[in-house]
Amino acid sequence: MEELLEQLLEECRPYTQQGQVATYIPELAKGDRNNLGIYVQRSDGRHYQAGDYQKCFTIQSVVKPILLLLALMDNGEEYVRARVGVEATGKPFDAINVTDQTLLSEHLNPMVNMGAIAMCTLIKGKDYEERFQRLLDLTRTLAGNPDIQVDQAVYQSEKRTGNKNRALAFLLKTYGMIQDDVEEVLDCYFKACSISVNSKDLANIGFVLANRGKHPQSDERLFPSDYAHYVNAILTTCGMYDGSGDFAVKVGVPAKSGVGGGIMAVVPTRMGIGIFSPGLDSKGNSLAGIQVLERLSKRMYLSIF
């Protein structure tokens, strides 16, 4: 298996040069698109890795399924679903999803920015500091890595320049979909996106979702299996935004991308996969990362379809 991963990275290395690192968050422009790494955590307890799997990058939108999980754990499915819908937007991650001059909860999706910003208000805590700390704690628990921290440089960079997200948050406020102070909610969202992880962390988080909520080593239940169904279904339909259909055909597993270059893939009952390569395609998904996953899926018959 390790040999296969090494071989796939070699085959896909040329694609690292075809993607572009994100620049709209100035700090991310410093990313090195030569990086390419993969970590696979399998249900038999074995794990395999290759390339730059230890390199850290910011989680960015891969935090959205964790946010959704925490919102579900804090409030239950009915409450969350009434506030943030589940239909794929078929639009870019930062789309302004206002239909006919109105914005309803069913227009929101937890995997795109507007829905994710709204979800920050669903996390329980006495203030936004405590809410964020609970999200960070859950991320550490799912990854099995207590050392996960926020990348302060990326956080400050995004907070300073994130005016599109500010616009989305004010629209949510205008339409009564968030009640709290917009800057406080955004601060939580920006910090969430700036959590620093590596491919192994993403593979471990993906594995808990693949394992329907049970910790890989201890077998401890971290969240109800229904929530894994909920999150995995949404990852399948819109985890890769307006590239989700293409990804379903080519790879065929629930997955989430981030503009830091990470992809977390969930192969139900079988494995969690973390990939890192910061060159992005036009939809903001890791270009080489998708190529690696496509090949791995074909070689190992990973598609759920």
Q: Enumerate binding residues for ligand DON (CB under 6 A).
A: 60-61, 93-94, 113, 158, 165, 193, 257-259, 284-285
Q: What's the rounded Cα separation, in Å, for the pair 298 and 296? A: 5
Q: Which is nearer to ligand DON, 20 or 43 (CB)?
A: 20
In sequence order, the β-bridge partners of residue 273 are 40, 265
CB of 15 to ligand DON, least distance (A): 17
Q: Which is nearer to ligand DON, 216 or 278 (CB)?
A: 278
Active site residue 61: yes
60: tokens are 């960015």
| C-alpha pair distances (Å), 134 with each of 138, 226, 227 | 6, 21, 18
CB of 224 to ligand DON, least distance (A): 27
Q: Which is nearer to ligand DON, 122 or 238 (CB)?
A: 238
In sequence order, the β-bridge partners of residue 40 are 48, 273
Active site residue 283: no
In sequence order, the β-bridge partners of residue 267 are 271
How far does CA 264 lie from the centroid of its chain? Answer: 7
In sequence order, the β-bridge partners of residue 129 are none
Marked catalytic residue, from 64, 191, 200, 256: 64
The three-class DSSP label of residue 71 is: helix
Cα angle 28, 273, 21 (rounded to 5 degrees) comes to 20
Q: Which is nearer to ligand DON, 52 or 158 (CB)?
A: 158
CB of 283 to ligand DON, least distance (A): 7
CB of 208 to ligand DON, least distance (A): 21
CB of 2 to ligand DON, least distance (A): 28
Marked catalytic residue, from 15, 39, 48, 241: 241
Marked catalytic residue, from 39, 53, 155, 189: 189
Active site residue 241: yes
H or E, element range at 286:
none
**Single-letter residue type at 8:** L
Return phi, psi of residue 220, to 5°: -65, 140
166: tokens are 């500010």
Marked catalytic residue, from 197, 251, 259, 267: 259
Q: What's the rounded Cα separation, in Å, for the pair 211 and 222? A: 10
Active site residue 55: no
Q: Which is nearer to ligand DON, 5 or 288 (CB)?
A: 288
Question: Which positions are annotated as active-site residues?
Answer: 61, 64, 189, 241, 259
